[in-house]
Structure formats: C-alpha cells, structure tokens
Amino acid sequence: MSHRVAELETALNDFDPGVREGALRELVALADAGAVKLPPPVEAVNMHCHTFFSFNGYGYSPSALAWLGRRHGFAAMGIVDFDVLDGVDEFLDACELAGLRGSAGIETRVFVPEFAAREINSPGEPGVCYQMGIGFASGQSEGRASEILAGLRQRAADRNRGMMARTNAHLAPVSIDYERDVLPLTPKGNATERHMLTAYVAAAKRAYPERAERVRFWAEKLAMEPAKVDTQIDDGPEFKNVIRAKLMKRGGVGYVEASPESFPTVDAFHEMIALCGALPCFAWLDGASAGERDIEELLGLMVEKGAVAVNIIPDRNWNIKDPENRRVKVQSLHDFVRLAQERDLPLNVGTEMNKYGLKLVDDFDAPELEPVRRAFLDGAHFVYGHTLMQRALGMGYQSDWAETHLPSRRERNDFYTQVGYRVEPGIQGKQRIERLNKTLSAAEILTALEQ
C-alpha cells in the first residue's frame, strides 16, 4: 500500500489535470478507508505557497499542496502564484475534497508612483513593489479584470524574453529557445526566471557533456574561479541560485532595468482584485528599505488604495544566524505586526516554497514567533472564512452584503475570522454555509454556525 500511495503522490504533480484529480480522489478514498492515516489539525499554517503554475521548488501542483497540508495536519494552506490565477479553482476544489482550510491568490510586481524614488520591497528597484491579492473564490474573470490579468501575463513573458535575449548573447554558444526549451517546463505557459535557469543548465549540459568542460564554461561566463564552480556545480538548486544572482538579478547581463511601463500600477492591480471579489494585500519584506522605513506613510497609502490585509514571510525575519541582525529583524517584525493590527489589517503568512530548501511550514513554536503566533493563525482563518462565504454565497469581504452588515474593517475581520474558526473544512462545511439564508445578519449567521 505504501508503494501505491507514493505513486499517487507523485501523480499529483503530473501536468495533466485529469491525472492529478484522479490521484487525489484515490488518496482521499484510501484515507477514508483508513489505509492512509491523516493527523488531526495542529496550529500550523502556510498561506503563501507558490505552485507549479508559477514555480514551486519541489514541483508541487495545487492538488499536491492541498494533500500535503492535509497529510501533515496543517490547520490551513494558501497558494499564491506569480501573475496568474491558473491554480485557484484546482486548489480550492482539492482543499474541499481533502478537508483542508484553503485560500488562493496572486502575486506580481507593481509600480507605486508616490514612492518612485524609494526602494520598497523589490531590492534595487525604486518604486517597484511586490503586491498580492488573496482570497479569490475562483480563477475565472471577465471584462476589465480579465484585461488586467492578460496584461500581467504578457508583461511577464515580455520581461522573460528580453532577459533571455541578453543572457543568450552572453552565454553563446549556449542558448535557449523560449517555446522549445522553457514553456514545456510549465503546465500552462507561465514561465519564470527559475524555469529559464533550468533550461540554461540543461543546455549547457548538452553543449558540454563532460563535467570538466562544463566547469570551465560556467567559470568563464560567471566570472568565477573554476575551483569555486567545481564545488557548486553538482548542487542543482544552489548552483541555479548562483547563476540567477550573477546573470539575472540587478547588475547581471540579463537584467532588464525596471521602468514604470514594465509593471501595472498598484491601482490597476487592486482594481482587478476587487472586481474578482478578492482582497488586495500589501507584501511587507523586513522593514529595512527606504520605503519600508517610512512604513506609516507606505501602509497608509496602500490602505488608501484598497489594501485590506498584509503578507509576511516570517522565516526570513527571525531565522538568522547573526544574533544582532536577528534581534533587529525580530523587533521589526513585531513592530509591523502591531502596526497592522492597529490598522485592522489581517496577516497572511507563509514560506513561499518557490525555491528548493524553503520550509513546508513556519516554526510557530519558535520563541521569536510566540508573540505573533495568534495573529498569524487568526489571519489564516480570516481569509478562509472570507473565501468560504464568497465561494458558497457570494457574501465575502467585498460583497454588497458585507458593505451593509459589516461597514468597518474591524467588523469584517472579526466576522470572517469567526466563520473561519467555526466552519470545518471540506464538503460538509461548505454545505453548512450554502444552507444559510442570505438575509441573515452577521450575528445571526454566527449564531447559526455555532449551533
């Protein structure tokens, strides 16, 4: 049986959606029959996981992440992909089937004119900001929202092609073709720098099959000592990070200088998210940049432009070797969480998983996270509660019902958080919501859910 389970878990990452769905259904059936033991939920969440629809360091699909969360007993999981909503419906369906609280979103880089002279959370790129939308109830869009989404996908592809052209010129005679070498590495054509890195490593291996030749090639092209390359070249994920840093990031030959035209404005991105009934979410880095040092001004601006939540990657803000650096980062983390709570902004936290080696879930038992642990858990249940209400009844955070019954951010946060805690994940939980009368008040809904 263990061999069959392993086969099915591998099939969860197949590029064929039918294969993924069939594998998940069989795994859930095995769990229902007692052949696979699933633990009860624990107080651990990862609400920021990239899937293979952008890039996941372990190759995980949305279905695989839903199963992973349930198999480990996580209380909730959320996906976030760069520039696309391709995994939203699959993930939410998979969470419902597996019995896991789930949320789904999107991440991109936007231009913030008011901070054009200040670096925010994209290193070396003043005015450019990683920004998110969370709590999507569907990956389908239409009208203006669909136009904005299409623009995100096209801008990303254009940036990739420009980077590839510059990198090809530098790495000659090694080169790659976008259609032939890069897009086949993706399930739905949304490539990233990390897909291109995989293609370049494979192309170099084809051109220089002998390891010694390949070491000399990379040493020359990366301006590194051959001995240094020799110690790193066999560590696939880490060596790709070296290539990325040398060639694709700021200062590298493939880097395309950021400009306002390269990215959508924060206003357009937030407009798309709201049109989809989802939640604009500011992504905080670590408080060290010029823009994030002016966090009161920055966060105020983001709220003014529609942000209703914030995202944090906790591990990079406490799991640090240098004691003094750790002390500073932890204090910044705690200060930012306090500010977010004062502004009634729920917290979305996770590990990203968009490169190999990142954790499957944060260590909520770490002393550094103890003061913010409950806020992190509440945030996960908040976005799940919103997603559930929007998906089942169209009564999520941005709905007309919420505008009428929950006029303030604090009221909405409290209501959707309580829904998230009170309603069990899975089909039965969704059915409980679907049976509610849409004319009920927020208090009446919570009373009904408590019975």
Tens digits of residue pLDDT in 377-416: 999 999 999 999 999 999 999 999 999 999 999 999 999 9
Cis peptide before 226 (omega within 30 of 0): no
Half-sphere exposure of 336 (CA within 13 A, CB side): 32
- Give the tokens for residue 298: 């920055």
For the entire predicted model, the pTM comes to 0.95
Measured in residues, the chain has a length of 451
Mean pLDDT value across the chain: 95
Cα separation, 157 vs 442, in Å, equals 44
Q: Evaluate the CA torsion angle 165, 167, 172, 177 in order and state its sign.
A: negative
- The pLDDT value given to residue 314: 98
Determine whether 77 is exposed, middle or buried from the number of CB atoms within 10 Å of its CB (0-12, 13-18, 19+). buried
CA neighbor of 45 nearest in space, from 418, 359, 416: 359
- The pLDDT value given to residue 262: 82
Domains located in the chain, CATH noted: 38-135+276-450 (3.20.20.140), 152-248 (no CATH)
- The pLDDT value given to residue 332: 97
Cα separation, 67 vs 95, in Å, equals 8
Cα separation, 205 vs 436, in Å, equals 59
**Chain centroid, CA 268 distance in Å:** 20
- The pLDDT value given to residue 206: 96
Q: pLDDT (tens digit, 0 to 9) for every residue of the chain, 451 residues total?
A: 688 999 999 999 999 999 999 999 999 999 999 999 999 889 999 999 999 999 999 999 999 999 999 999 999 999 999 999 999 999 999 999 999 999 999 999 999 999 999 999 999 899 999 999 999 999 999 999 999 999 999 999 999 999 999 999 999 999 999 999 999 999 999 999 999 999 999 999 999 999 999 999 999 999 999 999 999 999 888 999 999 999 998 889 998 777 778 899 999 999 999 999 999 999 999 999 999 999 999 999 999 999 999 999 999 999 999 999 999 999 999 999 999 999 999 999 999 999 889 999 999 999 999 999 999 999 999 999 999 999 999 999 999 999 999 999 999 999 999 999 999 999 999 999 999 999 999 999 999 998 7
Q: Other CB atoms closer than 10 Å to residue 379's CB: what's the count?
A: 31
Cα separation, 128 vs 115, in Å, equals 8
Cα separation, 397 vs 348, in Å, equals 15
- Cβ atoms of 65 and 71 within 8 Å: the answer is no
Q: How far is CA 136 from CA 226, 242, 279, in A?
A: 48, 35, 8
- Cβ atoms of 79 and 105 within 8 Å: the answer is yes
Only one residue has tokens 């790659």, namely 176
Q: Other CB atoms closer than 10 Å to residue 206's CB: what's the count?
A: 8
Cα separation, 89 vs 188, in Å, equals 14
- The pLDDT value given to residue 142: 94
Cα separation, 87 vs 17, in Å, equals 10
- For residue 365, give every residue at least 6 positions away whose Cβ sits within 8 Å of its Cβ, in sequence order, or none: none
- Cβ atoms of 60 and 52 within 8 Å: the answer is yes
